[in-house]
């Protein structure tokens, strides 16, 4: 289990007391020391500090980067390409931070720590109360994208004893809540968008459907996570959605790209890609009618509406 004490409170810069030796970082992240050294020397992904004796010391920020690297690798991204993706993230978030934003970041960090603690204790009753309390202070997009799902991803990557049970406990909790909210938002009078996934877990699809339709102008219906891509045309023919969106977690290989090209020509509605893997495929889609909507649900909401209105270039 990730030791929350290894991360300094939000808003406070790291100090020498926060530095971790390589053995502790390996235990926290599940990445062995040989791999950590390779990520530093060969790819420049992390730049730990050094003691006078040459021993590596890692900041909490370094640990966060290591977890991001793990996340991209789990989605099928080659480690040699991860540096470019990390650089893009830094550029997109590089802006002046106001005192109000810093306070907001601190509040969100505290909420994550609170949720994590309740999950560690398997306290479903208090977790339910905290889940309800979140909605009184934050919009739906922030609740999921900034608080609940980051905890889910962190638990999924944790390798300690009991972490699998904690992740399954939390995953089941969130899936049941998201399904409840989705059922309340599914209105037959709203334009329907179908959402399918490529190597996506059920919660990723459910939460994406919830967030994409958050303004109550769309009814976003997720299909089963195991739905075969080659049979999506059957569902589109039967349900006649206004658009089909694929949530992409991994890069496109040659076979998958061929399947998507065929799918786009078979269905009678626009086809869009969203999710973390969509950032990696823009160059592969040249000459196709497939639209790239955004890496997160928040980024994809406006492009999806533009796609439906015919105002988004593919």
Helix (H, G, I), strand (E, B) or coil at 17: helix
- Domains of the chain: which residue ranges? 4-93, 99-181, 190-308
CA of 3: how far to CAs of 34, 113, 155, 159, in Å?
A: 22, 11, 11, 12
The whole-number pLDDT of residue 183 equals 83
Closest CA to 106 of 8, 11, 13, 14: 11
* Superfamily per CATH, domain 190-308: Response regulator (3.40.50.2300)
Closest CA to 80 of 71, 91, 69: 69
pLDDT tops 70 at residue 91:
no
Fold of 4-93: Multidrug-efflux Transporter Regulator; Chain: A; Domain 2 (1.10.1660)
pLDDT tops 80 at residue 104:
no
Mean pLDDT across 79-92: 74
Mean pLDDT across 258-264: 91
Q: What share of the chain has pLDDT > 70, as a percent?
A: 86
| 134: Cβ contacts below 8 Å, ≥ 6 apart | 111, 143, 147, 148
The whole-number pLDDT of residue 35 equals 87
Q: Which of 11-15, 125-129, 210-214, 231-235 has the lowest mean pLDDT?
A: 11-15
The answer to whether the Cα torsion of 209, 298, 188, 239 is positive or negative is negative
pLDDT, one tens digit per residue, over 210-259 is: 999 876 778 899 999 889 999 999 999 999 999 999 998 877 788 888 89
pLDDT, one tens digit per residue, over 41-55 is: 888 889 999 888 888
Taking the complete model, does pTM exceed 0.85, yes or no?
no
Distance CA 93, CA 82 (A): 17
The whole-number pLDDT of residue 247 equals 94
The whole-number pLDDT of residue 214 equals 74
Q: Are 212 and 301 in contact (CB under 8 A)?
A: yes
Fold of 99-181: 1.10.1240
pLDDT tops 50 at residue 10:
no
The whole-number pLDDT of residue 274 equals 93
Q: Which of 13-17, 36-40, 81-85 reaches the highest mean pLDDT?
A: 36-40
């Amino acid at each position: 289990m990730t030791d929350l004490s290894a991360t300094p409170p939000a808003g406070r810069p790291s100090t020498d007391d926060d530095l971790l030796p390589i053995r502790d970082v390996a235990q926290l992240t599940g990445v062995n020391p040989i791999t950590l050294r390779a990520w530093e020397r060969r790819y420049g992904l992390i730049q730990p500090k050094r003691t006078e004796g040459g021993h590596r010391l890692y900041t909490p920020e370094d640990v966060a980067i290591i977890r991001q690297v793990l996340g991209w690798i789990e989605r099928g991204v080659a480690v040699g390409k991860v540096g470019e993706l990390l650089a893009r993230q830094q550029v997109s978030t590089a802006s002046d931070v106001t005192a109000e934003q810093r306070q907001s970041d601190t509040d969100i960090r505290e909420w994550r720590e609170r949720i994590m603690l309740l999950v560690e204790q398997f306290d479903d009753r208090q977790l339910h109360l905290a889940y309800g309390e979140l909605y009184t202070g934050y919009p739906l997009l922030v609740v999921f994208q900034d608080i609940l799902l980051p905890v889910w991803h962190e638990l999924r990557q944790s390798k300690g004893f009991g972490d699998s049970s904690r992740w399954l406990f939390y995953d089941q909790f969130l899936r049941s809540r998201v399904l409840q909210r989705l059922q309340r938002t599914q209105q037959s009078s709203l334009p329907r968008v179908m959402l399918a996934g490529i190597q996506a877990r059920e919660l990723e699809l459910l939460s994406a459907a919830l967030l994409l339709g958050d303004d109550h102008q769309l009814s976003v219906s997720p299909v089963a996570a195991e739905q075969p891509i080659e049979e999506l045309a059957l569902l589109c023919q039967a349900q006649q959605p206004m658009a089909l969106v694929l949530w992409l977690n991994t890069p496109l290989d040659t076979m998958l790209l061929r399947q998507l090209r065929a799918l786009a020509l078979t269905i009678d509605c626009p086809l869009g890609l969203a999710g973390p893997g969509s950032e990696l495929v823009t160059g592969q889609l040249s000459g196709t009618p497939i639209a790239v909507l955004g890496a997160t649900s928040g980024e994809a909401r406006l492009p999806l509406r533009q796609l439906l209105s015919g105002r988004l270039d593919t």
